[in-house]
Structure 1
Amino acid sequence: MVSKALRLLSLLGDRPGGIALSELSRVAGYPTSTTYRLLGTLVREGFARFDDASKRYTLGLKVFELGQRVSHAFGFTGIALPVMQRVSAHTREATLMSVRDDDKQLYVHYVEGPRQVSVIGEPGKHGPLHCTAMGKVLVAYAPAPAREELVATLPLEPLGPNTITDRDAFRAEIDTVRSRGYATADEEHEAGIRAVGVPILDPTGTAIAALSVAAPAFRTPIEDLVGQVPILTEAARELALLLPPRR
């Protein structure tokens, strides 16, 4: 039942405008009675909210409260933002931060670029590891056993026009990222988006997070993004000193 309740929370998170009981039951694949009972518990505990007027359920403030605690515990609140703002002020593009969550990455922070057209990040959302700049550095600088498993088992789904889908080519890409200290993604995750990413390393050389600059492909050649590696690396070193270690 715990896993079912957590699935309902995930589905509510995907629908910030709320969702009716019948629709949530259908999407989750649970009987209406089960969904209603689980939602009742979630509402009582503050993890979900029911609006009497619209008859729709949304996430409750308890989820926000816990999210803020996690953000604070990992040092993402207050510490990362000024550093990332300086990066965006220098590059004039969006700056993003993520951490590895098993075989995905979790976006934890985002600073919008100052230009009219900017890449948009969504903190709290998961993304792929194999076809993003941050994902690649999170794989490349994972502990050796985890790195080997990820390289061997990650689904290489073709999400963008240039996604690496060959296993040997992906392994070679991760080796290259690890040797040069940064990763690029040239329309690999989405058409029209390019990015460069660097790891934020703990004293053992393991990535505790990743930092990237992302830009529209029509405006920024990949070579220009690679030119931002020094400012990104400097920011990553600063954050490595400021952020508490992940346990």
Structure 2
Amino acid sequence: MKESAQTVQSVERALRIMECFTLEKPQQTLGELAAQTSLSKSTIYRLLSTLARCGYIKQDELTQKYSLGFKLFNLGAVVAGNMSLRDTALPFMKRLCDELSETIDLNIIEADQRVCIEMVESSEQIRNIVKVGQRNALWVGASGKILLAHLEETERCRILEDAHNKNQLPVEMDVLEKELDVIRGQGYVISVDDRLKGSFAIASPIFNHAGKLIGGVTAAGPIHRLSEERTPFIIQQVMYTAYKITEAMGNSDVKSHYPKLDIM
């Protein structure tokens, strides 16, 4: 099979090998894998060696049989966790979009970046467009800052130190830390003309049953719809949505995470 613009042959072959492992047959020999994939033993051996080095495959020293590595379990846990958050959050996001007529997005931290995993687009003619899968730095914009502010201190310091050493921070570290302190204290953040000129974003954090940060919800739109009278309403609605998602995720101490939220 020739490599095409749509596929990378070695990646495709590696995935075919991993798909041979099942609950009924979790361990496989080199010969068994060759028979199932119609690949040569030498090709399979090279691919298995690479996968093993990266933690996706392991080999039993006694039987010499191969099985899937725990790295895949970790990735599966990430997918399962995100799907649970996405499924739980989506009805609340749709309701918030109806209330505000602004684009609503759901974000998580992955590989030290802010990643959008769900979006409900505004029906307004002029609106913000957020792409699912879009990545941005954590220190830029409301969606990133709300996550960075509520990270555990050791993780937050590690990310900031790394960004500082690479000259990536837009301001001095102590200035940014003070801003993050304020964000933690109020349970929301508002940004104007930050990541995208002519737009605003208001975000609030989401926590799991154990009180650990798992994401954030953001309302974003053009700056001309962020009037002085409307701003407090948007803040409260975004925070209330984050509150309800956190509650739905099983958090019993949900009120403590949103000190500035007025609940009727």
Answer yes or no: same fold by TM over 0.5: yes
Distance across 1 between alignment mates of 2:211 and 2:8: 47
What is the DSSP-based 3-state SS (H/G/I as helix, E as strand, rest coil) of the residue aligned with 1:120?
coil
CA deviation digits over 1:73-123, x for unaligned, max 9? 641444221100111111110111101113201111100112111111111
| TM-score, normalised relative to structure 2 | 0.61
Query: 1:151·1:170 contact (CA, 8 Å) conserved in 2?
Result: no
Distance across 2 between alignment mates of 1:222 and 1:134: 21
Q: Which residue of 1 aligns with 2:246?
A: 240
In structure 1, stretches of 5+ residues that fail to align are 1-18, 25-34, 48-65, 159-163
Q: Which residue of 2 aligns with 1:112?
A: 121
Of residues 3, 7, 13 in structure 2, which corresponds to 1:41? 13
Q: Which residue of 1 aligns with 2:236?
A: 230
Distance across 1 between alignment mates of 2:18 and 2:87: 26
Number of matched pairs: 191
Of residues 198, 201, 205 in structure 2, which corresponds to 1:192? 198
State the shift of 1:36 in Å.
5.1
Whether 1:183 aligns to 2:192 is: no
Query: 1:103·1:154 contact (CA, 8 Å) conserved in 2?
Result: no
CA deviation digits over 1:136-176, x for unaligned, max 9? 11111111211222333335747xxxxx4332221111111
What is the DSSP-based 3-state SS (H/G/I as helix, E as strand, rest coil) of the residue aligned with 1:200?
strand
Distance across 2 between alignment mates of 1:201 and 1:43: 34
Q: Which residue of 1 aligns with 2:105?
A: 96
Rate the CA distance shift 1:136–1:73 in 2: closer, same or farther, 3 A: closer
Rate the CA distance shift 1:40–1:89 in 2: closer, same or farther, 3 A: closer
Query: 1:196·1:229 contact (CA, 8 Å) conserved in 2?
Result: yes
Query: 1:141·1:199 contact (CA, 8 Å) conserved in 2?
Result: yes
State the shift of 1:220 in Å.
2.5
Q: Which residue of 1 aligns with 2:57?
A: none
| RMSD (Å) for aligned C-alpha atoms | 3.2
| TM-score, normalised relative to structure 1 | 0.65
Whether 1:170 aligns to 2:142 is: no
Q: Which residue of 2 aligns with 1:138?
A: 147
What is the DSSP-based 3-state SS (H/G/I as helix, E as strand, rest coil) of the residue aligned with 2:225?
coil
In structure 2, stretches of 5+ residues that fail to align are 20-74, 252-264
State the shift of 1:133 in Å.
0.8
Query: 1:130·1:154 contact (CA, 8 Å) conserved in 2?
Result: no
CA deviation digits over 1:4-35, x for unaligned, max 9? xxxxxxxxxxxxxxx954xx9xxxxxxxxxx9
Q: Percent identity?
A: 21
Q: Which residue of 2 aligns with 1:3?
A: none
| Higher RCO, Cα 8 Å, sep 6+ | 1
1:178 partner letter: R
Query: 2:207·2:215 contact (CA, 8 Å) conserved in 1?
Result: yes
